[in-house]
A and B are shown apart, each in its own frame.
Chain A
Amino acid sequence: MNSVNKIVFIILLTAKVILPQGQLGDQFNKAKELYSKGEYFNTITELKRLIFFDRDKRYAYISNELIGECYKMGAKFTDALNYFTRAEMSATSSEDIYKCRINIIKINILRRTTGRAISLLDILEKDSRFNGKREEIDYWRGWAYIFADDWDKAAIQFSKISPDHELKKMCDSIDNERYSVTKAKLLSYFIPGAGQVYTGHYLSGLLSLGWNILWGYTTVTAFQAGRIFDGVVVGELLWFRFYNGNNQNAEKFTIERNREISNGALSYLQNGYRGEKP
């Protein structure tokens, strides 16, 4: 190779190294633009292209993170977790690692894999690098319990941040508003229909009471008159059936009512609440 060729070769080589950097930056901006337009599928394509040509992995962290965000927007949680994990592996600062972990935790909160979210938060808390993040960790723990429909535990977490925390007050009030399944079942156990009335289902409660009185009375009078067969048949097939139905309804209605209460709060959190959300 003569010297001229050598120089040309070196120029070409440097060009090859230098040129792509500008191109890669442009490519990332292009992807971000698609992302801001809400074209998440195409954003991922362009980011994958960037990752493919980015030999030095300079864009690995931000690209993988943005791919994770895209999948999250499309509610593709498993894929989102996959890419947030990849981002974490290419993260260089502890701040970036923390960001990725929180993203992973938020996904676990959203898909209600609460156990996983809590254990990841525990790991974060024990990590000395993140000592200054205690409040944030408690905050997300609170959200994890909200999504697990455990408003009492959620309130405790928020109260660690501040006894007057907005979400602490809200969780407390939701917890108070909820009906007790045990109470409803006990009520109906002793007075058929009472549990249903407790949850506001008056007609159903009265019907249950009526049927139980009717078949209970028929059964008892049959036994008193010595018509054992009739007594057994009515007691077994009718009274028992309606008594059982009464207990089932007490439980069912309580669960339904509680779901309504939780959903009211959850939709406020999604649409009305201004603070940070998963």
Chain B
Amino acid sequence: MIKLFVLICLGMQVLFAQTDWEKWGKADIPYTINSGTVSRNYSIGSDNPGQIILKSLVIGYWVIISDVDGDNCPFSPTCSSFFLQSVKETNIVQGTLMFADRFTRDMNTFGRLSHYPISRNRHLYDPPTLYTLDKDKIKYIPAGVIVNE
């Protein structure tokens, strides 16, 4: 009778992608063990004098304090990296405000897991792009989802 396939199913979207749905070639099979941890970037990596000073201060903080006082930050990126990235993304004033807000949220230990997505290294994923006040940069990810970052 009438073809009643009224609405189109988005279920068509690839749910169980199979190996051969993309062409592939030879792949390396490394015997070595991958550490899986995210390592910090200790290089200055900028010509901007403000950024150089800021990064030097942060590196100093990392070496003298952060690296020896244990893994205390529940977030990814960590508060100091968040600060650096915020300043890079915006400017020193806005970056500081973003950092102050993050600092406050860091002190809040209630209901975090029902709030943030989870990063690859099992921390709460909270990138600066959510807080730049630029709506187009906000990519909403529901809480608890594991993000490959």
Contact = CB atoms under 8 A, between A and B. Distances in A.
Q: Do A and B come from one complex?
A: yes
Interface of A: 38-41, 44, 71, 73-76, 78-79, 110, 147, 149, 203-204, 207-208, 211, 241-242, 244-249, 256, 259, 262-263, 266-267, 269-270
A75 B69 contact: no
Contacts of B27: 73-76
B35 to A, nearest CB: 6
Given A41-B24, A79-B19, A269 B68 contact: no
A256 B31 contact: no
B70 A41 contact: no
Interface of B: 19-20, 23-33, 35, 63-64, 67-72
B20 A241 contact: no
A201 to B, nearest CB: 10
Contacts of A44: 20
Contact of B70 (A71, A74, A248, A262): A248
A204 B67 contact: yes
B19 A242 contact: no
Given A38-B26, A73-B27, A74-B26, A263 B33 contact: yes
Given A71-B19, A267-B32, A241 B26 contact: no
Contacts of A269: 31
B70 A40 contact: no
Contact of A270 (B31, B35, B70): B31
Given A38-B26, A44-B20, A73-B27, A244 B33 contact: no
Contacts of B29: 75, 110
Given A256-B35, A262-B33, A263-B32, A41 B68 contact: no
B69 A245 contact: yes
A44 B23 CA distance: 11
Instruction: Identify which of A71, A208, A262, A263 gathers the most chain B CB atoms within 10 Å of its CB.
Output: A263
B73 to A, nearest CB: 12
A42 B72 CA distance: 51
Contacts of B71: 245, 248
B31 A40 contact: no
B31 A73 contact: no
Q: Ordered nearest first, which 10 A-B pairs have the shortest CB separation?
A: A245-B70, A75-B27, A245-B69, A266-B31, A263-B32, A270-B31, A248-B70, A244-B70, A207-B68, A266-B32
Nearest to A249: B68
Contacts of B24: 40-41, 74, 76
Contacts of A249: 67-68, 70
A143 to B, nearest CB: 10
Contacts of B33: 149, 259, 262-263, 266
B69 A242 contact: yes
A203 B63 CA distance: 9
A208 B68 contact: yes
Contacts of B25: 38-41, 74
Task: Tell me which of B32, B63, B71 has the highest count of chain A C-beta atoms within 10 A of its own C-beta.
Answer: B32
B98 to A, nearest CB: 25
Nearest to A247: B70
